[in-house]
Amino acid sequence: MNTLFDKIWDSHVVSMLDGGTTQLYIDRLYCHEVTTPQAFEGLRRRGIRCLRPEKIFCMPDHNTPTHDQDKPIADPVGRHQVETLEKNAKEFGLSYFGMMDPRNGIIHVVGPEKGLSLPGMTIVCGDSHTSTHGAVGAVAFGIGTSEAEMVMASQCILQQKPKSMRIRVEGRLGKGVTPKDVALYIMKRISTSGATGYFVEYAGSVVRDMSMEGRLTLCNLSIEMGARGGFIAPDEKTFEYLKGRDYAPKDGDWEKAVARWKTLKSGDDAVFDKEISFDASDIEPMITYGTNPGMGIGITGSIPAEAAPKSLDYMGFHAGEKLLGKKVDYVFLGACTNGRIEDFRAFASIAAGRHKAEGLTAWLVPGSWEVLRQIKAEGLDKVLGEAGFEIRQPGCSACLAMNDDKIPAGKYSVSTSNRNFEGRQGPGARTMLASPLTAAAAAVSGCVTDPRTLI
């Protein structure tokens, strides 16, 4: 019996080329402002249009400031990139969700939120964290600029088919342990190259119990394990999440779609190229100590003796050291990893009745305008405001140093984003990746704190 990955991939094969290359049909292309200008320029040079413009959606997110979005972007490079995307979308007749548009946000938050990303689809974007959309049961992966041009021109892409891997997480997660911790734990165990060459299907009772927001977080981090992408078979939670969303099927089409989506699962006798299992009881809240997401420890643990000296030198840490109690200068809640409503609820659950630590800077950035509306509707902005926190406008923010929200050199940041590479949050910035609960615990205490002590 084929795996679910085989089913989706094989149903999108247009033709097979010499050497095992697949011409794969693509259902959805997402474009943001950073990676697509050359692709549009390529179309112009060739004098061609987008083959199926209705399948392409564009929105700025990386360069957008998280304040004063109604004013021109101050940075000339960022402003030019955003203006160029808008111009290209208009010229080629593509859907465009610009700044201040109520549909705008981080592209990997908006896609599932609007029902643009649906089960059984193939989805691509010029961004490695496209794997996020796998949470709805889609085969989603990042592509390069020349590949984006290929999809624009032909609605197809040339790809080698990855191998398949299934990662099971069984049992029940303990107090204060979130999907972000599950992902960081898996990376710690298999390393950031442990899934290279594979497309990962997540399974097991822990994954089934996860909310859709949690699944989006888990799939988002697949690329950080080296995987081509990661996804989860759609189930009743998926259908409930998607029902009624703007671009989801409506009325009679909805029932037909759900009937089709229910067939999207790996058979009981499906054969994977590799299978790995983990026990939920082994996972505690996680935090990274180094300069890749696989360099993580349990919040109560110590930095391992074999940790890379270069990374420790950059971070100002040493082997054998505990991170508990380490002073924190910045806290960032947001990104396509943890910028959804559930993440703000989690952060607020710790912040309620407490106050932001003196001297600490906190950036709380919703992943979309829709998330911001939910925050206000639930009164979370008031809870967080009373605790001394301000909600900013949507965007990628401090996930990467492409807008105003940069961590200064030498300062420590507890971040809910997906990467802690050298300089990722700003030149010389020292990033510790963690969950929204752990970030909130640091924000109210001013140091690395086990969130379980505050729950």
Gap between the Cα atoms of 210 and 196, Å rounded:
25
Gap between the Cα atoms of 30 and 58, Å rounded:
6
Query: Rounded to the nearest 10 degrees, how much is the dihedral formed by the CA atoms of 348, 349, 354, 360?
Result: -50
Q: Which domains does the chain have, with CATH numbers?
A: 4-160 (3.30.499.10), 163-281 (3.40.1060.10), 285-453 (3.30.499.10)
Gap between the Cα atoms of 58 and 47, Å rounded:
21
**Residue 15 confidence (pLDDT):** 97
> Tokens for 92?
């080629």
Tens-binned pLDDT, residue by residue, of the chain (455 aa): 699 999 999 999 999 998 889 999 999 999 999 999 999 999 999 999 999 999 999 999 999 999 999 999 999 999 999 999 999 999 999 999 999 999 999 999 999 999 999 999 999 999 999 999 999 999 999 999 999 999 999 999 999 999 999 999 999 999 999 999 999 999 999 999 999 999 999 999 999 999 999 999 999 999 999 999 999 999 999 999 999 999 999 999 999 999 999 999 999 999 999 999 999 999 999 999 999 999 999 999 999 999 999 999 999 999 999 999 999 999 999 999 999 999 999 999 999 999 999 999 999 999 999 999 999 999 999 999 999 999 999 999 999 999 999 999 999 999 999 999 999 999 999 999 999 999 999 999 999 999 999 99
| Residue 415, SS3 per DSSP | strand
The CA-atom distances, in angstroms, between 274 and each of 9, 233, 294 are: 18, 17, 20
115: left (phi over 0), alpha (psi -120 to 50) or beta: left
The CA-atom distances, in angstroms, between 378 and each of 85, 205, 257, 341, 381 are: 34, 29, 31, 10, 8
**Residue 239 confidence (pLDDT):** 98
Which residue reads 């700044």 in tokens?
A: 99
Gap between the Cα atoms of 15 and 21, Å rounded:
9
Burial of 163 (0-12, 13-18, 19+ CB in 10 A): middle
| Amino acid letter for position 354 | R
No. of helices (H) and no. of strands (E), the chain: 16, 18
| Residue 140, SS3 per DSSP | strand
| Residue 262, SS3 per DSSP | coil
Beta bridge partners of 156: 25
**Residue 46 confidence (pLDDT):** 97
Phi, psi of 258 (to 5 degrees): -65, -40
Note the pLDDT tens digit of each residue in 349-398: 999 999 999 999 999 999 999 999 999 999 999 999 999 999 999 999 99
The CA-atom distances, in angstroms, between 285 and each of 52, 222, 280, 451 are: 45, 19, 11, 8
> Tokens for 323?
């991170």
The whole-model pTM stands at: 0.98
Contact by Cβ (8 Å): 216, 222: no
Phi, psi of 158 (to 5 degrees): -95, 125
